[in-house]
Structures are given as C-alpha cells and as structure tokens.
Amino acid sequence: MQIHVVREGQTITGIAQAYSTTPAEIIEANDVPNPNNLVVGQALVIPIVGRFYFVQQGDSLWSIANRYNTTPQRLAEINQLNITQPLRIGLRLYIPPQPKRDAEINAYIEPRGNEVSPTLIQSARNTAPYLTYLAPFSFGVLRDGSLKEPPLDTLPQIAEQNDVTLMMVLTNLEEGSFSDELGRIILTVKAVQDRLLDNIVETAKKYNFKDIHFDFEYLRPEDKEAYNRFLIKARDRFKQEGWLISTALAPKTSADQEGKWYEAHDYQAHGEIVDFVIVMTYEWGYSGGPPMAVSPIGPVREVLEYALSEMPGNKIMMGQNLYGYDWTLPFTPGGEFAKAVSPQAAIQLAADNNVAIQYDTNAQAPHFDYVDAEGNSHKVWFEDARSIQAKFDLLKELNLRGISYWKLGLPFPQNWLLIGENFNVVKNPTERENRTYA
C-alpha cells in the first residue's frame, strides 16, 4: 500500500495515473466520500503491491534503500537502473513490499439499547477478517455477583465464522458510570466474588468466550491490592477452562501516578498475573475538553514506554481510537460537548466547507478549521492513514503484542487496509500463548 496526500489541483484520475492504478480502485479501497471534490491534505491509501517513491533532492539509491529496509542493488535491479548513475529528481522508483510481522488486533463493539444495530452488525462482518478478538461492551457486574448481559445478536456467529476469539468484557458500571463502591464489593466480598466467577464461567461457555477481560475503572486507591488478588483468583479459575485473561489499564506514566483513574491499576502486578493488557492510550482530546488530538503520538509513546518498564512488550496492546471530535469554538469548560466524527465524516466535512486538511507532525494527527452555516467556528481533530501508520510504526518499534480499537461503528476503511499491509493477524491466540511479537 502507498499513502498519498492530495495536493492542490490533483484529481482521482491524475493520482491513479501516477501510481499505475485506476480511479475506481482508489475510490473503492478508501470508500472516498468526495471523489469529485478532493481536499488538499486528504490522505488516500493507494491499493498497489509495494509502493512507489518519487526521487527528491539529495536522494540516492543508498539513502532510499536504507529508508525502506532493502538494498541499493535490489532497487537498481527492480527499477532497471545503473547503480552508479545519479538519480533524476522526480524519477518514480518501485519499492518492493516489506516483510510483515504477527500482531493481535482487538476491537470493542458497543451495542446500545436492546439490540445490536444493523450498522454495528455490518461493521463486525467487514472487520472480522482483520481481528484476533471481538469485544462486546459490556457485561455489567451487579452487586450480588450476577451479570447484566449486553445484546449480542449474531456477534458470536460472526466471530466463529471468521476465526475470531470472543472477548468477554466485564465492567463495574452502574447507571452509565464506573462505580468505586461496586468495585469495592466485587473485590472485597468473597461470596460476591465466588458467585461472579461462577456466573462468568457459565456465561462464557454459553456464548463461547475464550478471553475474559476486566475493565474495572475508577476503583478506590486502597483496593489496588484487592484487585490484584482478585485477578489471581480469576486467572486460576479460567486457566482450568483453557481461557485467556486480560485487563484494561488507564494510561499511566509512572507507578505512583496520582488520580482516581490510575492508582488502583498496578502495571507490574497485571503484567505478572494476566495474559495481556490493553492500555487505553487515547482521549487526550475528549468531548468535554479543549480541542487537541485524541491520541497524540508523544503522550502515547510515553505511556507505552512506562508500560514496557513494568512488563514485556508481548503482553501490551496499544489502545487506539477509530474516531475524532468536532469542537465548537471558543471552547468553554463545562460548555457544549464536542461531537464524535468518523474519519470519513471528517473528510466530507472538510470537502463541504472547502477547507484544507492540515497535519500536525508533532502529534501525528490531521486537523482542520471551518465555519458553519450559522457562523460558528469549529476545530476538528481526527485520524487518517498517516496517523494510523505512525501508530503501527510505533507498535513495531516497541515490539508490542498488538493494537485494540475503541470502537467499531464509525467507518475508517483505510485503517483495515493498512492492518493487512503491516501485519499477519493472529488467529486462535489461546493456542499461541508463547508466541513472540517482534
């Protein structure tokens, strides 16, 4: 695959000719929402094997080969060049595809109400070939140790048909918010714990869940050790069934980080107890906060590097958002919340308002400004092929287990294309516990 960023005056037809493909293939691969009105700064994934590179001032076969992990001899041979001759600026070179490494891919899916919407069902079908896990969010734990089930509809069948492992997500949610009192009861009352574990096992067998995932958040700091002991108890129970156990962790940068979201999440203990963790490396930019990138790569790296100081990389999955936000300006704390937007909707919004898409190289994220029909100013931060590729490069650099998406339902076709370009998606992870991800 090749990522192309649209420049002033470019059209789908001209871009297709430059890469020896067709407009229809580009439109189909990207589900381009604006094929006749491309936006300057819009990122397109070009569906070709390998990629093309256009020679720039100062380039040599040696420098280009080093950039793309190949050899000057190989580049000269493929492109029928004399290895001793200087390169002409603008020359198009073909770069062969790079080797792919194994990775595990998870996606949460959040049904609302009493059924799974047709949109979510279709999203699950479309993405299942690229997934190791599918995680319906969530099974709510009640104070007596019973479970409130989410609607599942055909999600178990979709997972089975695509060799995807169902992840059973357990939360301490009450009335839409994480409850520290519910957490206290679960983690400190033995009778509730025993009943809960019995109910988890019964329900997991019913639907064929094979990873049990605890997303217990905003726990009391004094319950940290109780949480660790509970996870040991749960792990020992689930291992009898041959299942995996995993947890979601708040994005910490140190062991003693203060704040109710962080203090009960013990990275070192979770790294020792569970099979893997999902680190929630997103929501720096959030609906109730000021405009900024949702998952800027600098803070993401800082969290993951701390995680690596507490556990091996093959136990860490990077969290990643599949959405952006549209803020109405000026931002006022406690005022109007930003609206979630899919990458596709963001591109269409830029096209409709005839504004260019900018790219912040520090955050590694696209953004743009526009004024709506009522004269209100807006700021949009979202994700595109460049920002996702930057995260994939970080995942590979740090030798992490994989990536976990929050959440399915907002279309982002380029993400799934790039997964196929970068990774061999692991299936049947329960059979591959000793696999390395380097």
Give the residue numbers annotated as catalytic, written as ranges.
Answer: 217
Residues 426/100, Cβ–Cβ less than 8 Å? no
**Rounded-to-integer distance, Cα 111 and Cα 109, Å:** 7
d(CA 171, CA 228) in angstroms, rounded, equals: 16
- Using an 8 Å Cβ cutoff, are 353 and 346 in contact? no
CA 212 to chain centre: 19
